[in-house]
Amino acid sequence: MKFLLANLTSRQFVPAGTSLRLLRMLLVAMLFAVALSLFAAKSHAQMPDTQMGPEAGSELRGAGPMASPSPSSNDMPPPVPNLHIPQPVRGSMMVSPPYGNAPLRVGFFVLASDPEGLGFLTYSWNFGDGTVSSLPPELYIFHTYYKPGSYVCQLTATTVDGRKATLLQGVIVEPPTH
């Protein structure tokens, strides 16, 4: 990590014309993505595995002197359907820079996770200044705010099967400097 930071700050191995500020923003986004994936893996590891349905507990029937005899077909309860409740979509959004003078070009970095593994269909953006957009999923997107004010950017990430997550991020735009 020190080597990577040293290379970014000394501009070694950086293509000509690349902004150091952009490289630092991308580094922050990558570190945030790693933290999110570690959080998702930890959350998934803490979830207990459960088995539902008629086969649950069937290994105990007739398995010892105290076990009850297997029920006849007339005594069988109706089968229990396997219900799958989809996991909610998780995500976060960062903005860089979060404030500045108009016109302010802002980069929004999106880290969204679909625990079901189906993926995302669209990202619907409302930048809070009257601009809305529906785009295919991207890791980051840029938007320029031309008027001073406080804005709330809203992103709705929609999965292929219709599950949604709404993420919010604030931006403050000051009057232009002369």
Tokens coding 172: 């403050």
pLDDT band at 135 (very low <50, low <70, confident <90, very high): confident
Element (H, E) at 37: helix 20-45
> End-to-end CA distance of the chain, in Å?
40
What's the pLDDT at 128?
A: 97
What's the pLDDT at 82?
A: 87
CATH fold of the domain at 89-178: Immunoglobulin-like (2.60.40)
Contact 109, 29 (CB under 8 A): yes
Q: For the CA atoms of 28, 30, 34, 35, what is the dihedral angle to 10 degrees?
A: 20
pLDDT digits (tens, 9 = 90+) for 65-119: 555 555 566 788 888 888 888 999 999 999 999 999 999 999 999 999 999 999 9
Taking Cα atoms as reference points, which of 129, 42, 137, 57 lies closest to residue 93?
A: 137
Residue 97 and residue 107: Cα distance in Å, rounded? 7
Contact 133, 124 (CB under 8 A): yes
